[in-house]
Chains A and B, each alone.
Chain A
Amino acid sequence: MSAVADIPERQIINNDDGTKTIISYTIENGTKYKITQKVAEIKVTEKVSATIAERKKWHKYGIEKDSKPGPDQSTTQIGEEYIFRLGPNWRQLNEEAEKKLDLERKSTVQSIKCRYCGGPHFSTKCPNKPKDGSVPTRKTAASVAAAAASNITSSTYVPPSLRRREADANAQGIDILEAKKREQEARTLRLTNLNESANKDDLVKGLLAPFSNSIEKAVVVENRTTGRSRGFAYVTFSTEKQAEVALDYVDGRGFMNLIIHADWSQPKDKK
């Protein structure tokens, strides 16, 4: 139990936006970890029996008399995600799952993100904080576009079609580059339900072999951290016509045990 004493107290920081940041420490296999959680109180609705609903209305008593509704951080702490896999080979299952979780954790290391500049620090400490103290709304289209353009801070993949629309919303005028990009997207197909083990070569030399001469670019979208395919791809053809032929050919075709779904990478205006 002495180890527990070595662990610093939990720290709860009430953030401006009503969320809480909880910093706690834990020791696992002799290594000390710091866990930072950002917690929000949310309301969930649920269907329950009349008796249970009745009990929900009970007033608190004892030490909890007059406590406000909802769980209290001092007594109710959200634990760490626990991987619970059942099976006679549970040890292996757990180890595999743990590895996966580790990877995910690594990928979210940069998870503290400033609401002003997107940097890895708390918003309150942002050097670029606006003087008027205005709080940005949740992810405006503009910020997403900016993120997409810089492509550094954004951790999620923004498909080309969305990028374009954001750019539109930006209303900065369409320059030549933009126009070219639009034109390019007009001849791009989005293939979904791809087998995850299919790579670019499989696609170009296999599925799309009849069009291999007219393929300008093919990108299989991958998970940034694991490097695994996310099961969809963008293929740009030399002409829109070619793309259309390919669309007819590919859509609904079986490839590596899966039925491919193909569509334009952006919604086509009805012609």
Chain B
Amino acid sequence: MRPLALRGHTRGITQVKFNLEGDIFVSAGKDTDASVWFSHNGERLGTLIGHNGSIFSVDIDKDSKYCITASSDETVKLWNLKTGEIFDEIKFQCPVYRVEFSPDGSKILIVTSTLMKSKGHLIVHNIDRSANIIEKEPVFSIETHEEYKPIQVASWSYNGRYIAAGRTDGSLSKFDGETGQVLKHVPNLHEDIIKDIQFSQDRTYFITSSRDKSAKLIDILTMDTLKSYDTDSALNSACITPVKEFVILAGGQDAKDVTTTSSREGRFESRFFHKIFEDEIGRVSGHFGPINYVAVSPQGTSFVSGGEDGFVRLHHFDKSYFDFKYEVEKTAEAEQESAANNGKVSVDA
């Protein structure tokens, strides 16, 4: 596997997102411009120029028509992905941490920070796709309940039905995507801040990653913990790979704790775990600083990692990645196949 190192940002990367077909991805960083890339060859399509502060979050809608960005300049901007022009923007009273399109592209969720005396909000706005604007009146805007700690990250479930939100104390909440009502709260899931939530491809379960050095797989319906992945390094991000039953975990020590120069020593590695068996099965290194975000293409053929070192690293998996299976999986598949064949025979008969 020969990764591409993409140098489109001068400061640390905050988020990287693929579009639905996986041919394009967008990266955002602590500098003010987001970059749009072709994933096949790492060619940069363009940059989104317009923010006056770090971009904390970025997303592409399902039709690859829009890009949306959330920034410390207290705005959320809607961009034309094709031209790099701004369609619309919406202003808040404090920096915005997260933004994400609902799966159908009709809504966006927004997580605002607790800076500037704000208590932190979870806000949903409609997108008027014909007029290319963000509707100014939110569908709902929920201020952090006083019993709970502020939300750090949030993501939509299938059909935009629920929103899963991770909080700074490691607890997790499930909201109704339509009304914003809290449906369930899971306290003490993690011992430290939840830094990322990413759903599976079908958006029925998701993975949380925390500074407590673990990641957990959660069922959105029951909010039960399905799997847990423990590492020896604080995590910033985790994603679930389509096609293969893996998860990718990434993170690293804070820069101030890092004394060694070698990337291997500093643990700036993307760690691959088997999603079902919870074993670590491989690592990919290459960053010089902590990895802030990992994303995998919806086709499961490549993954990108964005580091504090300002690099986005794009990796296309080789054949060996797809070939790898546990014996147990192979056996199970063989059994299934033969069962299917047997079924066919009986029908034919």
B309 near A77 with CB under 8 A, answer no
State the majority secondary structure of interface residues on B. loop
CB distance from A269 to the nearest CB of B (A): 42
Stretch from A54-62, A153-161, A236-244, A250-258 forming part of the interface with B? A54-62
Q: Is A28 an interface residue (CB 8 A)?
A: yes
Contact of B46 among A64, A70, A82, A90 (CB under 8 A): A64
Beyond A62-B47, A84-B318, A87-B281, whether A4 also contacts B2 by CB under 8 A is no
Given A61-B84, A75-B6, A84 and B284 touching (CB < 8 A)?
yes
B44 touches A72 (CB 8 A): yes
CA distance A37 to B324 in the complex (A): 30
* A86 partner residues in chain B, CB cutoff 8 A: 272, 281-282, 320-321, 324
Docked-complex contact A79 and B321, CB < 8 angstroms: no
Docked Cα-Cα span, A254 to B348, in Å, equals: 41
Residues in A neighbouring B42, C-beta threshold 8 A = 71, 75-76
How many residues in A have their beta carbons less than 8 Å from beta carbons of B?
45
In the complex, chain B residues whose CB is within 8 Å of the CB of A67: 44
Q: Distance (Å) between the CB of B330 and the closest chain A CB?
A: 13
Is there a chain B Cβ closer than 8 Å to A29's Cβ? yes
Contact indicator B3/A79 (Cβ below 8 Å): yes
Interface size, chain B (Cβ < 8 Å)? 54
- Interface status of B280 (Cβ within 8 A of chain A): yes
Residue among A1, A59, A64 making CB contact with B288, cutoff 8 Å: A1
Residues of chain A contacted by B279 (CB below 8 angstroms): 88
Known: A76-B6, A79-B2. A63 touches B46 (CB 8 A): yes
Task: Establish whether residues A85 and B48, one from each chain, have CB atoms under 8 Å apart when the complex forms.
Answer: no
Q: Is the CB of B264 within 8 A of A87?
A: no
* Set of chain B residues within 8 Å of A90, measured between Cβ atoms: 280-283
Residue in B4, B262, B318 whose CB lies within 8 Å of A27: B262
Set of chain B residues within 8 Å of A71, measured between Cβ atoms = 4, 41-44
Task: Pick the most buried of A59, A60, A61, A77: most chain B CB atoms within 10 A of its CB.
Answer: A61
Interface centre among A63, A76, A94 (most CB of B within 10 A): A76
Of A45-53, A133-141, A174-182, which stretch is located at the interface? A45-53
Which residues of chain A come closer than 8 Å to B286, judged between CB atoms?
79, 82
Cα of A77 to Cα of B311 in the assembled complex, Å:
10
**Which residues, 18 to 54 on B, are CB-close (under 8 Å) to A?**
21, 23-24, 33, 35, 38, 40-49
Q: Does A17 contact B (CB under 8 A)?
A: no
Kindly state the separation between the CA atoms of A80 and B288 in the bound complex, as whole angstroms: 14
- The number of inter-chain residue pairs (CB within 8 angstroms) is 139
B345 within 8 A of A: no
Beta-carbon contacts of B268-287 to A below 8 Å, as 1s and 0s?
A: 00001000000111111110
Give the docked Cα–Cα distance between A58 and B82 (Å): 6
- Determine the distance from Cα of A56 to Cα of B37 in the docked complex, in whole angstroms: 11
Contact residues of A between 1 and 33, Cβ < 8 Å to B: 1-4, 27-30
Q: Does B231 have its Cβ within 8 Å of any Cβ on chain A? A: no
**In the complex, chain A residues whose CB is within 8 Å of the CB of B127:** none
- Evaluate contact between A62 and B3: CB separation under 8 angstroms: no
A28 proximity list for chain B (CB < 8 A): 262-264
Q: Residue B261 at the A interface, CB < 8 A?
A: yes
- How many angstroms between the C-alpha atoms of A30 and B265 in the bound complex? 10
Chain B residue contacts of A81, Cβ below 8 A? 1-2
With A and B bound together, what is the CA distance between A47 and B33 in angstroms?
32
**A245 proximal to B (CB < 8 A):** no
Q: When the two chains form their complex, are residues A77 and B7 in contact, meaning their CB atoms are under 8 A apart?
A: yes
- Nearest-neighbour CB distance to chain A for B38, whole angstroms, equals 8
Cβ of B181 under 8 Å from chain A: no
Chain B positions 213-272 with a Cβ under 8 Å from a chain A Cβ? 255, 261-265, 272
> Are B282 and A84 in contact, with the CB atoms below 8 A?
yes
A4, B288: Cβ atoms closer than 8 Å: yes
Q: Does B64 interact with chain A (Cβ within 8 Å)?
A: yes
Decide if B262 touches A52 in the complex (CB within 8 Å). Answer: no
B77 at the interface (CB under 8 A from A): no
Q: Which residues of A contact B262 (CB under 8 A)?
A: 3, 27-30
B-side contacts of A109, CB under 8 Å: none
List A residues at the B interface (Cβ < 8 Å).
1-4, 27-30, 46, 48-49, 51-52, 55-56, 58-65, 67, 69-72, 74-88, 90, 94
What are 20 A-B contacts defined by CB distance under 8 Å? A29-B262, A55-B24, A55-B64, A61-B45, A62-B33, A63-B33, A63-B44, A64-B46, A71-B41, A71-B44, A78-B4, A79-B4, A79-B286, A80-B2, A81-B1, A82-B315, A85-B320, A87-B281, A88-B280, A94-B283
Which 7 residue pairs across A and B have the least CB separation, nearest first?
A62-B47, A61-B84, A3-B261, A61-B46, A62-B46, A86-B324, A76-B42
